[in-house]
């Protein structure tokens, strides 16, 4: 079972990683199709959609998988089946209701986001793209339920493959539809964006088809387990089933909703705040697009690298806490935080230093875009820390504190956003986001420390060591970049890619060598790494 679980976790992680990589790479051609000015309109649709999804279904796959896995372990396969059968109609209803709410509320939401007298987009433009993306909400809840059921049986492949197909179909339609609208039918970029956001619905349909195929394939196996258990019906009432599901779902939903909510706060305050300091709607829309789409896509790369690995340690923490083995809980926390920072800090700060090359490679040459990315990239460290601290609190049964801390973080962002934007423009929005996350993470850490009496001077020493190594490594990367720029003009995408590759290789080689020589990497990644490093003299 342990090897199957490890294999399943690897499959799920690889599938998610490939899906995320595609989600980053497609922006290169998409940006060339719609142009810098229209990026904000695309994001105006996706942020409300992300919030609606987070409220409706975020956490459902994990919650369902935990529920099904728990009762399967008890030999009660009937209860998991009962959950899926009863929830199917509920999820369909949730999807339809979510679609209706988002579709009907598209104009009021658009009024919140933008004023009709702004130069580039009208309220009708924003409302239209929100309506197009709302169709995806119909399908996603059912899709999430089925994914969770498969994961409860330790079948991770259906989720991984369906995620990959969903992303591929969505991206193909985004790019093909956008290209045909703009270049073949000579339509507007606004029409292209409407087609692009509708692609979320088509991607979800593709995912559902893949999941249905896996359901037909695996159903005989599920039936054998059900029949062999000798228990064909469940004794657990639907009331208790949904009560338990709600307890599982809410914390995960909150993790999913924080980033879209922070972006939504930017959407409803950024343009108005910029207008008050004399910056017109056309310019502020472009800046908001840089912040919430262009830069944000790249900022999430370090988060993608680190959190998947760190989150696999959370079930271990939950298990030790259930056994009241607080020593092992603290040891697991030590490892989690160190690995997270070990991976995230160099990636985030590396993107910050190479911001010009990253922005040029993915989008175009832009001093403003480079500045936004350079200042925003370090916030990725906070983006990676928040879900981990929240998952730890969920593992030690502190769900109410998760909600409270999230609300206080959002309140911090909401209160500070407008005054900081007035004072520092785009940097003000970045600073408000960072402070909101600091509040939420700080309160989470306070709760963890108070509950588990967690205080580790060893972790503090290791973090200081990680920071010191990163300072030297990043200085080396900066000098390498400076030297290349002195010899060559970097003004094309391939040249930017070469600079990124050379500088990242130098930084990674130095970081790997020093952390291995110091023994830091071996201490964090355990015996498997030590076995290999001994062969090469470390």
What is the end-to-end Cα distance of the chain in Å, rounded? Answer: 34
* Predicted pLDDT at 1: 41
Q: Is residue 244 part of a domain?
A: no
Residues written for the chain: 538
Q: Is residue 509 part of a domain?
A: yes
Q: Write out the residue range of the structural domain in which residue 447 sits.
A: 254-538
Q: Are residues 418 and 499 in the same domain?
A: yes
Q: Is residue 241 part of a domain?
A: no
Q: Are residues 183 and 216 in the same domain?
A: yes
Q: Is residue 242 part of a domain?
A: no
Q: Are residues 189 and 287 in the same domain?
A: no
User: What's 295's DSSP letter?
Assistant: I
Q: Which of 8, 273, 295, 277 is nearest to 160 (CA)?
A: 8
* Predicted pLDDT at 3: 46
Q: Are residues 265 and 174 in the same domain?
A: no
Model pLDDT for residues 487-533, shown as the tens digit of each residue: 888 889 999 999 999 999 999 999 999 998 888 888 887 666 666 66
Q: Which residues contact 509 (CB under 8 A, 6 or more apart)?
A: none
User: What's 120's DSSP letter?
Assistant: S
- Give long-range contacts, CB 8 A cutoff, 24+ apart: 427-431: 427/375, 428/273, 429/266, 429/270, 429/291, 430/291, 430/372, 430/375, 430/376, 430/379
* Predicted pLDDT at 6: 47
Q: Are residues 30 and 134 in the same domain?
A: yes
How far is residue 201 from each of residues 40, 95, 140, 433, measured CA to CA in Å? 20, 12, 8, 30
Q: Which residues of 103-140 are buried (b: 16+ CB within 10 A; e: fewer)?
A: bebbbebbeebbeeebebbbbebbbbbbbbbbbbbbbb
Domain final residue pick, 185, 208, 236: 236
Q: Is residue 249 part of a domain?
A: no
**421 and 428 Cβ atoms separated by less than 8 Å:** yes
* Predicted pLDDT at 312: 55
Q: Which of 367, 301, 289, 283 is nearest to 34 (CA)?
A: 289
Q: Is residue 247 part of a domain?
A: no
69 exposure class (CB count in 10 Å sphere: 0-12, 13-18, 19+): middle
Domain final residue pick, 169, 204, 236: 236
Residue keyed to tokens 């893949």: 210
**402 and 251 Cβ atoms separated by less than 8 Å:** yes
Q: Are residues 231 and 339 in the same domain?
A: no
Q: Are residues 94 and 150 in the same domain?
A: yes
Cα 465 to Cα 527: distance, rounded to the nearest angstrom: 21
Q: Are residues 14 and 160 in the same domain?
A: yes
Domain count, the chain: 2
Q: Is residue 246 part of a domain?
A: no
> What are the structure tokens assigned to 469, written together?
């190594």
How far is residue 264 from each of residues 49, 106, 250, 466, measured CA to CA in Å? 10, 14, 20, 34
Domain final residue pick, 207, 236, 265: 236
In the chain (538 residues long), the average pLDDT of successive 10-residue segments reads 50 74 88 87 88 73 77 80 83 90 94 74 91 92 87 82 92 94 92 93 94 92 80 72 76 78 94 91 89 92 67 62 79 85 94 96 94 97 91 79 92 98 97 98 93 84 93 96 92 93 96 90 73 66
**472 and 465 Cβ atoms separated by less than 8 Å:** no
* Predicted pLDDT at 5: 45
Q: Are residues 67 and 100 in the same domain?
A: yes
* Predicted pLDDT at 380: 96
Cα 224 to Cα 219: distance, rounded to the nearest angstrom: 9
Q: Is residue 64 part of a domain?
A: yes
Cα 341 to Cα 385: distance, rounded to the nearest angstrom: 8
Q: Are residues 123 and 214 in the same domain?
A: yes
Q: Which of 183, 140, 178 is nearest to 162 (CA)?
A: 140
Cα 287 to Cα 85: distance, rounded to the nearest angstrom: 47
Q: Are residues 362 and 441 in the same domain?
A: yes
Q: Are residues 185 and 267 in the same domain?
A: no
């Amino acid at each position: 079972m342990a090897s199957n679980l490890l294999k399943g976790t690897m499959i799920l992680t690889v599938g998610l990683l490939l899906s995320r990589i595609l989600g980053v790479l497609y922006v290169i051609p998409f940006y060339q199709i719609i142009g810098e000015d229209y990026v904000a309109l695309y994001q105006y649709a996706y942020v409300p959609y992300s919030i609606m999804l987070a409220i409706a279904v975020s956490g459902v796959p994990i919650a369902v998988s935990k529920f099904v896995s728990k009762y399967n372990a008890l030999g009660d396969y009937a209860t998991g089946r009962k959950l899926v059968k009863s929830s199917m109609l509920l999820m369909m209803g949730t999807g339809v209701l979510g679609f209706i709410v988002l579709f009907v509320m598209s104009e009021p939401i658009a009024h919140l986001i933008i004023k009709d007298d702004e130069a580039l987009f009208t309220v009708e433009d924003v409302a239209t793209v929100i309506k197009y993306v709302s169709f995806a909400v119909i399908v996603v809840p059912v899709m999430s339920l089925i994914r969770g059921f498969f994961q409860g049986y330790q079948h991770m492949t259906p989720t991984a493959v369906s995620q990959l197909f969903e992303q591929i179909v969505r991206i193909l339609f985004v790019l093909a539809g956008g290209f045909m609208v703009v270049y073949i039918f000579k339509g507007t970029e606004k029409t292209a964006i409407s087609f692009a956001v509708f692609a979320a619905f088509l991607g979800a349909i593709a995912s559902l088809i893949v999941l249905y195929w896996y359901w037909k394939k695996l159903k005989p196996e599920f039936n054998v387990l059900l029949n062999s258990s000798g228990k064909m019906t469940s004794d657990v009432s639907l009331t208790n089933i949904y009560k338990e599901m709600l307890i599982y779902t809410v914390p995960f939903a909150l993790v999913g909703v924080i980033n879209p909510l922070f972006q939504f706060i930017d959407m409803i305050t950024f343009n108005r705040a910029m207008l008050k300091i004399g910056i017109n709607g056309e310019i502020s829309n472009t800046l908001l697009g840089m912040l919430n789409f262009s830069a944000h896509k790249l900022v999430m790369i370090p988060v993608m690298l680190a959190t998947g690995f760190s989150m696999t340690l959370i079930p271990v923490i939950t298990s030790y806490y259930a056994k009241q083995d607080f020593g092992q809980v603290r040891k697991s926390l030590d490892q989690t935080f160190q690995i997270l920072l070990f991976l995230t800090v160099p990636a985030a700060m590396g993107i910050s230093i190479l911001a010009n090359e990253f922005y040029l490679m993915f989008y175009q040459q832009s001093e403003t875009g480079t500045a936004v990315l350079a200042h925003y990239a370090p916030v990725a460290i906070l983006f990676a820390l928040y879900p981990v601290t929240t998952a730890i609190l969920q593992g030690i049964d502190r769900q109410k504190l998760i909600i409270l801390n999230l609300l206080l973080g959002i309140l911090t962002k909401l209160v500070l956003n407008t005054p900081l934007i007035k004072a520092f423009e785009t940097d003000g929005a970045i600073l408000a986001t960072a402070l909101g996350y600091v509040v939420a993470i700080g309160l989470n850490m306070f709760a963890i420390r108070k509950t588990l009496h967690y205080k580790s001077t060893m972790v503090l020493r290791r973090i200081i060591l990680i920071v010191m190594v990163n300072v030297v490594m990043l200085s080396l990367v900066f000098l390498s970049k400076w030297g290349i720029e002195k010899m060559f003009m970097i003004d094309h995408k391939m040249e930017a890619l070469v600079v990124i590759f050379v500088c990242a290789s130098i930084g990674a080689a130095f970081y790997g060598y020093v952390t291995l020589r110091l023994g830091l990497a071996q201490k964090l990644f355990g015996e498997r790494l030590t076995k290999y490093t001994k062969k090469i003299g470390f």
